[in-house]
Chains A and B, each alone.
Chain A
Amino acid sequence: MNALILSAVLGVVMMFSGILLKQKSAIRNLAIAGILLLLVSNILETYGTVFFKVNTEGMMYFDRFALFFNTIVLLSTLLYLLLTARDMEKVGVNYAEYFALIFFILCGITLVSSFKSLLILFLGIEIISIPLYILTGTDKRNLKSNEASLKYLLLGAFSTGLMLMGIALIYGARGTFSTEGANLVTDKPSALLLAGMILLLFSMSFKASAAPFHFWTPDVYDGAPTVFTSFMATIVKAAVFIAFIRLFDEAFGTLRSQWQLWIAVITAATLFIGNITAVFQQSVKRMLAYSSIAQAGFMLLSLYAMNTDAKEGILLYVTAYSFATIGIFAVLAKMNDYTFDGFNGLAQKDPLLAGSLTVFLLSLAGIPLTAGFLAKFYMLKATVATPQGLWLAIFAILMAAVSVYYYFRVIQAMYFKEGDAKAPETTPVFRWTLVILAALIILLGIFPDLLLHWFYF
C-alpha cells in the first residue's frame, strides 16, 4: 500500500517538476530520490510499518509474495534509472514527463502484484499499458517510433478487449470479481467460466509476449527508444508474469487440468519462435527483443509447473533476467551501431564494459555461477517434478542451448574479432552501477538464498 500511494503521488510530483525545476540533473536526482523513497517505504511495509491504512474491501492483499516482488521491481528500477536516466535526455524535450510516466507504471505494477479482484487486475494492466504506449512514441520525429506506438496501441487495445470480455464472462459464471474462494468451484466448470478463462489466458499471453501472441514485440521493442525498451522488456514484463501467475494460481488453480495443456503448447511455441528467430537477427536490439520472447518462454514454465519451486523460481528468474537485460540495454543505449559488428573489438577499448556485458550475456544464456543459471535451474526443477513435464523440460533446455548461439555472438564480437567499436563515453556512476549489477548477478548465482531467504522469513 505504501508503494502504491507514494508512486501515484510521486508521478504527479514529477509531472510538475518539469515546470519548477529548470535543470535536468535536478529532475533526474529527484526521480532517483523518489525511487529510493518508494523502495524504503516498501521494505518498511514488509516489516509491518504501513503508512496508509486503506480499506480495500478485500480487493487487494499485500502478502509477502507481493511485497517482495515490489522490492525486486523497485530495486531494478533504481538500478535502471542510475544506468540510463542520463540517456533519456537524448530522447526528447519532455524530460520530467518520462519519469512521471515511469512512476505511474510502477503504480500499476503494485496493483497487479497484489490484486484479489479481477477489476484491480484490469486497472493495473491498463495503468501499466497506457503510459507505455506514450513512452514507445516519445521519439516523435522517428517514423519507426511512431509506427511502434500505433501498433502497440491498436494491438494492446484489442487484447484489453479480450481481457474485459473474459472478465465479464467469469463474472457471469461466478457472480463475483473476487479471486478469493474461487478455488471452491471444482467439479464440472461451466462453459462460461472456461471461455472466460481462455480469453484471460490469451490476453495475458499477449501482454507477456508469448507466442503466438508475440508479433507486436519485436517491432515495438525495436521502434521504441532504447532506454524505454529496457524498461518495457524487463520490469514491466516481470510484473505481467507475476500477475499471470497470481491469476492462474488463485482464480483458476483448481481448473488446472483444463489449462495446463494450453500453457504447455504456448510455452513450447514461445521457446521455439523466440530462440530460433533470434538466431537470424543482425541487430543486437532486435536480437534482445526476440531473446525477451525466448526468456518469457522459460518463465512460462513456472506457470506450467505451479509448485513451490516454480513460485520461488519465478522471483529469482525475473530478478536475474531484469538485472542482466537492464545492463545490456544500458550499454546498448550508448552505442552508435546496434549491429553485432558494432561491438567488434570493444574488449580492447573498454575492458570493464565488455567484462560486465559478458557477465550479463552469460547470465541470460544460463551459464553456472550466474543468477541466470539458477533461475533456469529452478524452472527446470519445477517442471521435471510435474508428472508429464519432462519432455517440456528437455525441449526447453535444448532451446536454451540454441540461445547460447546468439548471446555468444556478442561476446565473440567483443573479444575475438578485430574492429574499431567506439567505446561509449560513460560517467563513473554508470560504470560503478554496471559493476555492481554484474557483481549482484554473480553473487546471486552462487548464493541465491540471499534473495530467497528474504522471501521466507
Chain B
Amino acid sequence: MIPVLLILLPLLTGLVTFFIKDEKTARSWALLASIATLAVSLLGLTVMNDATHLAHKAQWLQTIGSSFSVKVDGMGQLLCLLTAISFPLIFLSTWHSNYKKANNFFALMLLGQAGLMGVFVAMDALLFYFFWELALIPMYFLASQWGGEKRIKATFKFFIYTFVGSVLMLIGILYLQSKTPDHSFALQSFYNLSLPKGTQNWVFWLFFVAFAIKMPVWPFHTWQPDAYEQSPTATTMVLSGIMVKMGLLGVIRWLMPVLPVASYQNGDMVMSMAVVGIVYASLIAIRSDDIKRLIAYSSIAHIGLMCMALFAENKSGMQGVMIQMFNHGINIIGLWIMVEVIERQYGTRKLSELGGLAQKAPVMAIFFVIVALANIALPLTNAFAGEFLMFNSLLSAKTSYLYAILFTVFAGLGIILAAVYTLNMIRKIFFGELTALTANAQDIKLNEKLVMGIIVILVFWFGVYPQALLNITDELSQVLVNKMEISHLLRKQ
C-alpha cells in the first residue's frame, strides 16, 4: 500500500495542479501534496514497516508477462525518503521565485516526483522502464520551459542522451525476458537467470550505458553540466539530488545481481572510467567560474566515487553507496538552494563577481559553509560515514591488489581536489572585498532559513548517528553481495 500511495499521491495531486489557475493556491497545494507524500514515506519507515504494507502486486499486461509489482526495500526506503524530503524543501526554498504559469510548473514537478518514486519501488522490469521514462518527460518540459537562455538546446541534448540510453536498456530487458523460463519481467525471474559469460558481457553494456548516462559517468557526462546550468534551479535540484540516483539504483538492483559474471569482468573497466571522471571533473571544477557548473562537476566526481565503490563488489561498498545516495542528495540540494538564493538576490552566478558576502549575510554564510563542508565529507557531517565505507571497500576491492591501491589513491586525490574547489568557492563568495553586486546584499529570508535549518539538522544528525541509515540498508546490501558471489559460477564454466 505504501509504494502505491507514494506513486499515486504525487501523480493525482500533480494532475489536479494543472487546473489550479491561481499561482498562490497552486504553490500551497503543491507544498501540501509533497508534505503528504513525506508523511506516507515516514509511515512506511516507522508504523507500517512490514512486508504486507511495503509491497503490492496487481495484474497488468498479463499477456506479455508483466505485472504491477512494487515493493519498498531498504534502498527504496532511503531513496523514497530522500525524494519525499526533497520536494517540500524545494518548494519551500523557492517560495519567492516567480514562475510564469506556475500551476504547470508545480504540476510537472509533482509528476516528476511520481515518476521517481515509481523507479525506486518498481520490481518489474517493464514497470521500471515505464517509470524511468516517465520521470524524464516532466523534467524535460520543466527545464525547457523555465530554464536559462540556451535551455532548448541543452535540455534537448539531455533528453536525447538519456533516451538513447534507455532504449538500449529496453532491448536488454527484452532480451533477458526472452531468456527467462516463465517469460516474465519480474525482478526475481531476472535474478534466477544464469546466462553464459559471453551473453552477459554484451547485455551488461546495453544496461550499463543507460545507467552511466544517467549517473553520469565519464565519458557519458557531457549533457550534464549544460543541463544543470540551463535548468531552473528547482529542477536542477531534482536532477542532481534525486535523478542521478536512478542510475546508481539501476546498477545496484537491475545490473549487478542479474549479470554478476559480466559485472565482475567489466568491473575494472568501469572503475577506470569512473576514476578518470573523478579527477577530470574535479580539475574542471577548480577552474570553473560559474557556481552552477562548479557544483555540477563536483557532482560528477561524487557520483564517480559511488560508481567505483559499487564495482568493488563488497558489502561495505554497497552499503556505503546506499547511504551516500541519501546524504549526497541532501547536501547537494542544500548547495543548490544557496546557489538559487545567490542568483535570485544578486543576479549572478559568477564567482568573480561575488565577494565579501559574509559581512552582509552572515546567516547565509554559516549555512553555506556547513553544507559545503558536508559535501566534502568532513567528519561529523552526514557524508563522512558513507565516504569512509566506500574507501574501505575500494581498498578491499575484488580487483587485483595493485589496481585496488591505484584506484584508491586516485579517488583519494579527488577528495583533496574537492576540498580545493569547495574552499576556494567559499572564499570567493563570502570573503574578500565587496563587489558592486554584493554591496547592498541582504541576508536570507525566513523560509530559506527554515529549509537550511532542516538540512543542517539532517547533516549533523546522520553525521553523528549514521547507524540509523546503516540499519535500514544492512540486510539488503548483504543479500545483494551474496548474489554477486560468482566464484561458483566461474568454476562452472
Contact = CB atoms under 8 A, between A and B. Distances in A.
A and B from one assembly? yes
Contacts of A398: 164, 167
A373 B62 CA distance: 17
B133 A368 contact: yes
Nearest to B136: A367
A381 B63 contact: no
Nearest to B133: A368
A362 B137 CA distance: 10
A416 interface: yes
Interface in B164-203: 164, 167-168, 170-171, 174-175, 177-178
Nearest to A313: B64
Interface stretch (A16-24, A245-253, A324-332, A389-397): A389-397
Best-surrounded residue of B159, B168, B170 (most CB of chain A within 10 A): B170
B345 interface: no
A368 B144 contact: no
Contacts of A312: 63
B156 A380 contact: no
B130 interface: yes
Nearest to B137: A367
Contacts of B137: 362, 367
A199 to B, nearest CB: 34
A412 interface: yes
A449 B63 contact: yes
Contact of A380 (B61, B151, B152, B174): B174
Interface in A416-434: 416-417
Nearest to A400: B167
A367 B163 CA distance: 9
Contact of B168 (A368, A369, A394): A394
Interface string A398-415: 101100110010001001
Contact of B129 (A368, A384, A390, A447): A368
B174 A393 contact: yes
Given A368-B133, A405-B160, A381 B64 contact: yes
B171 A404 contact: no
A401 B156 contact: no
B130 A393 contact: no
Contact of A415 (B61, B64, B133, B145): B145
Interface SS, A side: helix
A385 interface: yes
Give the interface size bracket for A toward B: 20 to 34
B229 to A, nearest CB: 17
Interface string B131-172: 001100100010011000001100010011001100110110
A312 B168 CA distance: 23
A79 B295 CA distance: 51
A380 B141 contact: no
Given A381-B174, A397-B171, A415-B145, A368 B164 contact: no
A416 B151 contact: yes
B178 A380 contact: no
Given A368-B129, A380-B174, A404-B159, A397 B64 contact: no
A131 interface: no
Contacts of B60: 447
B133 A367 contact: yes
A416 B145 contact: yes
Contacts of B178: 381, 384-385
Interface string B106-143: 00000000000000000000100110011001000100
Given A400-B167, A408-B159, A448 B133 contact: no
Nearest to B202: A390
B167 A416 contact: no
A390 B175 contact: yes
B171 A380 contact: yes
Contacts of B159: 404, 408
Nearest to B144: A416
Interface string A423-457: 00000000000000000000000011100100000
Contacts of A381: 64, 174, 177-178
A394 B171 contact: yes
A394 B156 CA distance: 22
Nearest to B147: A416
A380 B64 CA distance: 13
Interface in A217-259: none
A384 B167 CA distance: 14
Contacts of A309: 64
Contacts of B167: 397-398, 400-401
Pairs A-B, 10 closest by C-beta atoms:
A397-B167, A368-B133, A384-B174, A368-B130, A401-B164, A416-B144, A385-B178, A416-B152, A381-B174, A401-B167
Given A309-B64, A385-B178, A397-B167, 10 more contacts: A312-B63, A368-B133, A380-B170, A380-B174, A381-B64, A384-B175, A398-B167, A416-B145, A447-B60, A449-B61
